[in-house]
Structure 1
Amino acid sequence: MRQPLRYPWLNFDVDELSEPVIAVRVDVTDTRAEVPSHRHRKGQLVFALGGGVTCRVPSGLWMVPPHCGVWIPGDMEHSNIATANARIFFVYIEPGATDLPDRCCTLSISPLLRELIVELADHGQDDNSRQDVLTKVLLSELPRMPVQQLHMPISSEPRLRRIVDALAENPADRSNLAEWARRVALSESSLARLVVRETGLSFGRWRQQLHLIVAIRELASGASVQQVSADLGYESVTAFITMFKKALGKPPAQYLSSVAQNRGSAFVA
């Protein structure tokens, strides 16, 4: 029997309501917050206005940097971890209310959509007719948002799960492929083939995706580039910046600045 969906910021079960959109604001305190693994009938957009959120689903880790959102389809098991002082919006969407993917994805959020979400969360219940108008525009705009590649594929294969859990616990672990192969009782070539088969990425690229997720999350919460570089086990700040720029097209400071500048744009390109 399904348990009611109840969190500290909700005094109701969202799945018991038939409204096409329910938006909720969550302001995290000075310590990180975690929502344990759960599922609900409604789809969910996790949107960060400040700080960062990491969503974990059976198939991967998904990063929600500021001014982006992660779409989680209905009935998909997931958990959320927010950085300290994050400002988050959870937008619950009735199945079939709009044309969104049946898989998890990270979406850019335009300034227009951002303001719609904020308004629905803060004042959506004040005027039913206005709420209906805002809801219709939101459901029309959301499918237009560009998809970002900020996730780390996760396999259900037990040995890869062990590696993911270890790297998530200690992302500074710089063990090479041969060392990881010994830990999971495989040959180096067998582990390399397993990672490619299960994730579509080489081992180095797969681990790099985790580093990008952690880096953006920590930089968004106020950590310095030097601190993040050290926390991820890079030999130098230059090496970290080079990796970041090669993967995302810009060094960390410029990347975060461009995200912030999107607030004043009419739309995110």
Structure 2
Amino acid sequence: MGFQLRYPWPDLDPDDVAAAAIAVRLDVTENKVEAAEHAHRKGQLVFALGGGVMCRVPNGLWMVPPHCGVWLPGGTRHTNIATANARIFFVFIEPGAADLPDRCCALSISPLLRELIIALSDRMQQDHGTETLVAQLLLSELPRMPLQQLHLPISPEPRLRRIAAALADDPADRRTIAEWAERVALSESSLARLILRETGLTFGRWRQQLHLIVALRELSAGASVQQVSSELGYESVTAFITMFKKALGKPPAKYLSDIMQGSGSAFAAGGRI
């Protein structure tokens, strides 16, 4: 069994709990285990205290490295893929209980919010769903978290789905856009326009974003920079570190160190919910 949810009430759906916010802990014992696609009436925050999680939604992938979260509005169909030995919390929030977006987004988790999530999870074991001051503080703090760019857009367009699936299966694939165009029976210019129109990114930037998501997943699971560089097909570790630093503002070791310390400035890209 790869996932073990610690619900405070056996066999009870979180959507049936009246509290404005509840938190449950998830222990992962197997690598790359994926839950079946599903949706909740409530919104859901996926928070990684350790290890990493990828959330699949119909139009993309969202990465949840340690001490970050992904917000999934109520009704969003999704699956979660966790690294081995990940420590994850799900926070379920009633619609309208907090000023949160109506779209998926990744966000930093402040040290205060982290402690509130952990405390709410512990408190739920004792209070049996009663709304608490901890929940109220959590709902006040969550909308203040900075947005982060840990998203890979995936189009429903069949040819782009085919390319995305191939690159996800083999991130080291270095075929050029011209070679991909030939494979999906398009001209190079037509494929370039299609990718830009459907994802908002150039082919090179789109593939780089996939590399960043894979890199964060593997680094969060304990892989070395050398191992990740090789898995992604970089000619040297230096080339991989240069790409990572250019995209996220810091080299991998510093980036992960800042995340583990709860730094909200660990990401180069930011914003507010």
Q: Superposition pairs for residues 1-269 of structure 1, below 5 Å? A: 9=5, 10=7, 11-127=11-127, 131-262=131-262
CA distance in 1, matches of 2:43, 2:182: 40
What is the SS of the residue equivalent to 1:38?
Answer: coil
CA distance in 2, matches of 1:105, 1:264: 15
Structure 1, 126-135 or 32-41: larger mean CA deviation: 126-135
CA distance in 2, matches of 1:139, 1:148: 19
**Deviation, structure 1 residue 13:** 1.2
Structure 2 equivalent of residue 3 of structure 1: none
CA offsets per residue over residues 35-61 of structure 1, 9 Å max, x none?
Answer: 121111111000000000000111211
Tell me the TM-score normalised to structure 2 length: 0.91
Tell me the TM-score normalised to structure 1 length: 0.92
**Deviation, structure 1 residue 262:** 2.1
CA RMSD of aligned residues (A): 2.0
CA distance in 1, matches of 2:141, 2:179: 47
What is the SS of the residue equivalent to 1:155?
Answer: coil
CA distance in 1, matches of 2:14, 2:26: 15
Unaligned runs of 5+ in 2: none
CA distance in 2, matches of 1:263, 1:200: 29
What is the SS of the residue equivalent to 2:172?
Answer: coil
Alpha carbons 1:229, 1:240 under 8 Å: kept: yes
**Deviation, structure 1 residue 30:** 4.5
What is the SS of the residue equivalent to 2:95?
Answer: coil
**Deviation, structure 1 residue 257:** 1.0
**Deviation, structure 1 residue 131:** 4.9
Alpha carbons 1:48, 1:89 under 8 Å: kept: yes
CA distance in 2, matches of 1:191, 1:182: 9
**Deviation, structure 1 residue 258:** 1.2
**Deviation, structure 1 residue 16:** 1.8
* 1:198 to 1:129, Cα distance in 2 relative to 1, 3 A: closer
**Deviation, structure 1 residue 71:** 0.2
User: What residue identity is the alignment partner of 2:190?
Assistant: S
**Deviation, structure 1 residue 127:** 3.9
* 1:125 to 1:85, Cα distance in 2 relative to 1, 3 A: closer
* 1:257 to 1:198, Cα distance in 2 relative to 1, 3 A: same
CA distance in 1, matches of 2:116, 2:84: 24
CA offsets per residue over residues 157-195 of structure 1, 9 Å max, x none?
Answer: 111111111111111111110111111111111000001
* 1:130 to 1:112, Cα distance in 2 relative to 1, 3 A: farther
Alpha carbons 2:60, 2:155 under 8 Å: kept: yes
**Deviation, structure 1 residue 70:** 0.2
**Deviation, structure 1 residue 125:** 3.7
* 1:185 to 1:80, Cα distance in 2 relative to 1, 3 A: same
CA distance in 1, matches of 2:238, 2:258: 20
What is the SS of the residue equivalent to 1:126?
Answer: helix
CA offsets per residue over residues 122-154 of structure 1, 9 Å max, x none?
Answer: 222424798510010000000000000011111
